[in-house]
Structure 1
Amino acid sequence: MTASLSFPVPSALGSIDQYVQAANRFPILTEAQELALARRLRDEQDVEAARQLVLSHLRLVVSIARNYLGYGLPHSDLIQEGNVGLMKAVKRYDPDRGVRLVSFAIHWIKAEIHEYILKNWRLVKIATTKAQRKLFFNLRSMKPDNGTLTTGEVAEMARVLGVKPEEVREMETRFSGGDVALELGPEDEDDHRVAPIAYLTDANAEPTAVIEARGRDRLQSEGLETALEALDERSRAIIRRRWLADDESATLQELADEYGVSAERIRQIEAKALQKMKGALAAYV
């Protein structure tokens, strides 16, 4: 099945534009081709299968890395780190999980790029825990506008991200006030040169927000339907009437009258169904 695919050995390229063009020329795999290659890699340790899986997804790395250009780091370096994440994803990919490689690889690519940014910014010394790193990459996209956060907004952001309110304030101050560059060039005698934080990407294009938005879209379509299918017919109907109605949602009493049970029984069915759906949706979060 994969024999007809053309995956030439990449040659040396002189510029990032040539690399991007080359990456976009590699064929996109069908689901069947992808599964066949992934099983060859898993079962036979087939290096050629791994190569084809990586090459067919190079354009994904280019796309994700482009969203991080506002951090002031070379596009080529971002792509290189993203490619490391892609290779890790290919190595760990399980073709029998029912998830396409592109969905699985996004998280590994993003993780490697995040690590690269964190290692190259003096600004993020405080981002030493998972929660603080999440704060660093989400603060700008979570701010309602470009103004200063209110006390309530700080408290809510701290709760959502699992950090202390003072950590939110400190990170906001660093983002708004600029920072000293990690290294000054020998020709630069300005001790207060502004670090790349001064020209961060616009919050609307924050890569974490973009990827999370894609995840929400997938959750609302494929994930939701899968979770609903896991319910029995009555529970599914109750959830649809209570939470997914296009017009006014049904009340507990209305459903109780319709099914000939108590409102408390409907509430119990609803709670149990939501809990079951939560477990089914875990694979899509």
Structure 2
Amino acid sequence: MNATAHPYTLAPAARGWSHSAVVLPPLGNLDAYISAVNRLPLLTADEERDFAQRLQQHNDLEAAGKLVMSHLRLVVSVSRQYLGYGLPHGDLIQEGNVGLMKAVKRFDPGQGVRLVSYAMHWIKAEIHEYILKNWRMVKVATTKAQRKLFFNLRSMKQGFKADALDADTHRDTLSDHEVDVVARELNVKREEVLEMETRLSGGDVVLDPGPGDDGEDAYGPIAYLADARHEPTAVIESSQRDRLASDGIAQALEQLDDRSRRIVAERWLKVNDDGSGGMTLHELAAEYGVSAERIRQIEVAAMKKMRKSLEAYA
């Protein structure tokens, strides 16, 4: 998502509203955007309640726009807390704005809570999700406890550093005691704290450095990391084949009657210990008391039905 490319316009139809769009101020110039939203008027409690009721009862998009616009400065303020993750401030603001719009859509004025308090959760949740998806360390946090660790370790380390400066000691890494404190307060294992600290402190590596000062291509990891087996398209195709060979075939077999299912299994899926297959057409014909040609016809019809099921599954 590029915050500098175009104005930020979000169609509520994509977010739960059913009619025209709520248009936010353009993010073309970030400083100008921040200055503009800081000049937008705040709503009184009565105005906020009135607009929220109009949105809730009549799906009034003008009221929704008033609620969103009056809280854009909150998104800017919250987004500043996440600048240390190396992501563009404009992108953080855009994601926070999405969270704000979700909050406005779900806000119930009858609960007696101001929108600013309710929206804080949705804004942070949307920014958190964006950071986890786009930060340089892919899949850095997967469980709820790991996410809490991810977003709290940095600030906790700053607190430990301040204490260390007061004691005239200088350390970039956590001590054993500090690791124990973090693990206990965030309810995670010591090993997870140490791993997350390593990830957060790790630098980025340029895979393809490009031309050097002499005009020649510089040697980088891209030269020795290439592996066709892990090329994304090949991985996806392999994964699809695996699913078709397991879940897809199992689902297709479920569409058949018992006799057809057994015939297909004996003819195509069964492998004996000596490497031989299952029963022949004549053996199946003798068991069911019909001709071999009839067994072949049942097999052809079953395979056709399975093929359609596999195509739908894929």
CA shift for structure 1 position 11: 6.1
Determine if contact 2:49/2:109 at 8 Å carries over to the other structure.
yes
What's 2:239 paired with?
A: none
> What SS does the aligned partner of 1:126 have?
coil
1:166 to 178, 181, 191: 191
**Which blocks of at least 5 consecutive residues in structure 2 are unaligned?**
1-21, 162-170, 213-217, 222-314
Render the CA deviation track for 1:222-261: whole Å, top value 9, x for unaligned: xxxxxxxxxxxxxxxxxxxxxxxxxxxxxxxxxxxxxxxx
Render the CA deviation track for 1:134-168: whole Å, top value 9, x for unaligned: 10110121231254323332223222212221010
Render the CA deviation track for 1:10-69: whole Å, top value 9, x for unaligned: 665641122122212221000110011111111111111111100111111112112322
1:60 paired with 2:60, answer: no
- What is the letter of the counterpart of residue 150 of structure 2? F
2:124 to 80, 90, 110: 110
What's 1:46 paired with?
A: 60
Compare relative contact order (CA 8 Å, sep 6+) and give the higher one, 1 or 2.
Answer: 1
**Which blocks of at least 5 consecutive residues in structure 1 are unaligned?**
1-7, 193-285
Render the CA deviation track for 1:88-129: whole Å, top value 9, x for unaligned: 111111112121111111111111111111111232523011
1:1-285 equivalent positions in 2, closer than 5 A: 12=26, 14-143=28-157, 144-145=160-161, 147-180=172-205, 191=220
* Distance (whole Å) between structure 1 residues aligned to residue 219 and residue 144 of structure 2: 34
Residues 1:191 and 1:88: Cα distance change in structure 2 (over 3 Å): farther
- What is the letter of the counterpart of residue 87 of structure 1? M
Determine if contact 2:209/2:219 at 8 Å carries over to the other structure.
no
Residues 1:92 and 1:187: Cα distance change in structure 2 (over 3 Å): farther
* Distance (whole Å) between structure 1 residues aligned to residue 76 and residue 65 of structure 2: 17
- Runs of 4 or more, structure 1, over 3 Å off, are 8-14, 183-192
- What is the letter of the counterpart of residue 135 of structure 2? W
> What SS does the aligned partner of 2:139 have?
helix
CA shift for structure 1 position 177: 3.5
* Distance (whole Å) between structure 2 residues aligned to residue 22 and residue 43 of structure 1: 30
* Distance (whole Å) between structure 1 residues aligned to residue 83 and residue 182 of structure 2: 25
Render the CA deviation track for 1:161-192: whole Å, top value 9, x for unaligned: 122210101111222342436x7676685748
* Distance (whole Å) between structure 2 residues aligned to residue 84 and residue 94 of structure 1: 18
* Distance (whole Å) between structure 2 residues aligned to residue 120 and residue 9 of structure 1: 25
- TM-score, normalised to structure 1, is 0.58
Render the CA deviation track for 1:248-280: whole Å, top value 9, x for unaligned: xxxxxxxxxxxxxxxxxxxxxxxxxxxxxxxxx
Determine if contact 1:124/1:136 at 8 Å carries over to the other structure.
no
Residues 1:153 and 1:142: Cα distance change in structure 2 (over 3 Å): same
Residues 1:140 and 1:54: Cα distance change in structure 2 (over 3 Å): same
- What is the letter of the counterpart of residue 158 of structure 1? A
Residues 1:75 and 1:126: Cα distance change in structure 2 (over 3 Å): closer
Identical counterparts, % of pairs = 65
* Distance (whole Å) between structure 1 residues aligned to residue 26 and residue 195 of structure 2: 45
Determine if contact 1:123/1:179 at 8 Å carries over to the other structure.
no
Stretch deviating more after TM superposition (26-35 or 69-78)? 69-78
Max Rg structure = 2
Q: What is the RMSD of the two structures over their aligned residues, measured on CA atoms?
A: 2.5
